[in-house]
Each structure stands twice: as C-alpha cells, then as structure tokens.
Chains A and B, each alone.
Chain A
C-alpha cells in the first residue's frame, strides 16, 4: 500500500537541544567526522488504495496543522512512496 512520508525538522534558527546532545555523544564512539546534528521527525501515512491529489492535499494540511508546530518546526517534504 502506498505511503505518504512527511519530514519535519526544527527551524534552522532554533538550537535543537536533542541534536546538540547527540553530536556531543558521537565522538565517544569514535565517530569524529560530524560537526553538527539536527534531529527531526518522519511520519509515514499509509493510504488504503490510490493516493489521489485530494489525499495528498490532506497530508500536506495535516503536516502543517498537526504534525508540525510552525513556531519551532518546518515541514521539509511531503512525498508519496510506493512499496
């Protein structure tokens, strides 16, 4: 069944506390090649049947109104993934 994948990231100007903790921990495991980490969210919305333009539009609206908070986050992509 097709899925719509929504990616949400903290806004660039917002210091991401979780990403900061992760980048601090990486060198302890020997991963020294990374200067910054930002942690976002990925949502997979499963669709029973065909992804119509209406359903894709619903996903975009859900992404803006519920899956993200526009004060602190950006919706960076809403894409259909066929299995």
Chain B
C-alpha cells in the first residue's frame, strides 16, 4: 500500500481507481490549505472516494487564477492561524478567501461557486459574512469529540441533494468553538427560508441555538457545518454504523451531491 500525497492522482486501491474513471472525475473540487489546516488531506480523499478530482488550493494565492478553475471549493477543518484572535478571523482575510467570496456571493457572481465549510471552514465562512451568525466556545467549555447524529433539514442545497429530507446521518464531531449563535431575528429568518441545513439529534453537543449544526446561504451554494462528513466516507475509518465499529460512511453524500450536480449541470 502506498501513501497518498496530500492531494494528487496516486490511488490507494482498485475501488479508488475505478472511482477515478467514473463520469464524476471531470468535476474538480478545490480544497483550501491554510497554515494550521488539519483536514485538507481527508477532504481531498473524500472527493476522490466519491469519484471526483481533488485540486489543491493555497490560501496565499492571489487573482482569479488562484482558484485554478475549480467547479467547487471545500474549506476544511483544523486550526487555521492557531485560532488566534477568533477561530477563522485571520484566514478570512487570506487572498484566496477574497476570490472565493467573490465567486460564491450572489451579488457579485453570475454562476455561483459551490462552497462547503467544515468546522474551522464554517467558522471562516461566518467570519467572511458568507454565512450569518458566529461561533462561541462550547457551552460546557470542553473540546468534544464524538460520533454525532444529524438530521438533514434541507436536501436542496448543492451539498445535500443525495440525502433524503429528514434523513438522519452520523458523522464525527470534534471542536472547541462549536456553539452556533445568531440573534433571534436571524435565526427566525434562517428557519423560515429553510436555511437550517442540519440539526443535532439526540443531544445538543455545544449549546448551539435551536440545535443548529449547519446552515446555508440564501442561494444554497454555500453550506457550513461543524461536524465532519469527510471523516465518514470509507468503511474501516468512519463512525459506528448499525452497531458495527468504524463502518459508517454517511458523510459520502456531501461529496456525491456536489459531484452529481456539477456533472448533471454540464451535460
């Protein structure tokens, strides 16, 4: 077995090799690396397992070419800039984030770039004002790491179309600043517009308002959530599923959703 590069074409096994020649391979998903990103490798691997092509993006790259012509972008989890100032607060001003904001914001772009922010990526999206609200430290003040059940409240976004409405999925959750907050008016608007995409089920792990685990922008191309779908895409490395250890692959739908939408849209 050979080690995969951070992002690249090397493949681990035959199932991945088959995926790489799938019709979805033409869809190119960029994964951003900041100083302190941790889950860029897993996010890129999730894209490849889902059948797409992962493209490495670098936070400091400038200009329209910085996005390398990708069809969608994942802002991965981790502790970019060590969470200094506030989680995501410094990454938000990275040159590449300016390009992503321009391409994803409905006021400024003709065709909207799909963007998924996971954990620290979600924090960066709120700091960028691409998504409303903010994150506080977990109400119990502890780092939490657990397999977390979520309910898919909106399956019409770019990143959730492969799920059934109301479907419950289990993916890992691991964070310190995961308490989603926004003022009541904003929360009411999110609910009314169907922009609460995921809610925590069974327990609220961090005090998030209205059990919100993830939200979208109005157009549905930008989605952010605290839990980690990219860690639940491959049997043997995921959460428990149906009582069997490490077999959960509920996160894969995020990546197949965007890939199928991208390929379907260009056919």
Residues in chain A within 8 A of chain B (CB atoms): 14-15, 17-18, 21, 66-67, 69, 71-72
Number of CB contacts from chain A to chain B under 8 A? 30
Q: Quick check: B136 and A21 within 8 Å, CB to CB? A: no
Q: Kindly state whether residue B134 has any CB partner on chain A within 8 Å.
A: yes
B interface, size bucket: 10 to 19
Q: B133, B134, B141: which contacts A18 (Cβ < 8 A)?
A: B141
A17 touches B89 (CB 8 A): no
Question: Out of B126, B139, B182, B183, which one reaches A17, CB within 8 Å?
Answer: B139
Contact status A21-B141, CB under 8 Å? yes
In the complex the two chains form, what is the Cα distance from A71 to B183 in whole Å?
8
With both chains docked as a complex, state the minimum distance between the C-beta of A11 and any C-beta of chain B, in angstroms: 9
Of B89, B134, B141, B182, which one neighbours A66 at CB under 8 angstroms? B89
A71 in complex: contacting residue of B138, B141, B181, CB < 8 Å:
B181
Contact in complex: B181, A66 (CB < 8 Å) = no
User: B127 contacts the other chain (Cβ, under 8 Å)?
Assistant: yes
Q: In the complex, which of the residues A17, A66, A67 contacts B136, with contact meaning CB atoms closer than 8 Å?
A: A17
Which of B85, B93, B139 lies at the interface centre, i.e. has the most chain A CB atoms within 10 A of its CB? B85
Residues in B with CB closer than 8 Å to A17 are 136-139, 141, 179
Query: Which 4 pairs show the lowest CB-CB distances between chains A and B?
Result: A71-B134, A17-B137, A72-B134, A21-B141
Bound CA span A14–B183, Å = 10
A-chain residues with CB within 8 Å of residue B132 when the two chains form the complex: 71
Closest residue of chain B to A10 (Cβ to Cβ) is B136
- B86 contacts the other chain (CB 8 A): yes
Residues in B neighbouring A18, C-beta threshold 8 A? 137, 141
- A51–B164 alpha-carbon span in the complex (Å): 59
**Closest CB in chain B relative to A58 CB, distance in Å:** 15
CA distance A74 to B129 in the complex (A): 17
Given A66-B93, A71-B126; 17 other pairs, CB 8 A cutoff: A14-B136, A14-B181, A15-B139, A17-B136, A17-B137, A17-B138, A17-B179, A18-B137, A67-B85, A69-B86, A69-B89, A69-B127, A71-B132, A71-B134, A71-B182, A72-B134, A72-B136
Q: Is the CB of B133 within 8 A of A71?
A: yes
B61 to chain A, nearest CB (A): 21
A18–B58 alpha-carbon span in the complex (Å): 34
CA distance A14 to B184 in the complex (A): 12
Q: How far is the CB of B114 from chain A (nearest CB, A)?
A: 24
Task: Write out the residue numbers on chain A whose beta carbons fall within 8 Å of the beta carbon of B182.
Answer: 71
- Cβ contacts under 8 Å, B127 to chain A: 69
Closest beta carbon of chain B to A55's beta carbon, Å:
20
A-B contact pairs, 29 of them (CB 8 A): A14-B136, A14-B181, A15-B139, A17-B136, A17-B137, A17-B138, A17-B139, A17-B141, A17-B179, A18-B137, A18-B141, A21-B141, A66-B85, A66-B89, A66-B93, A67-B85, A69-B86, A69-B89, A69-B127, A69-B134, A71-B126, A71-B132, A71-B133, A71-B181, A71-B182, A71-B183, A72-B134, A72-B136, A72-B181
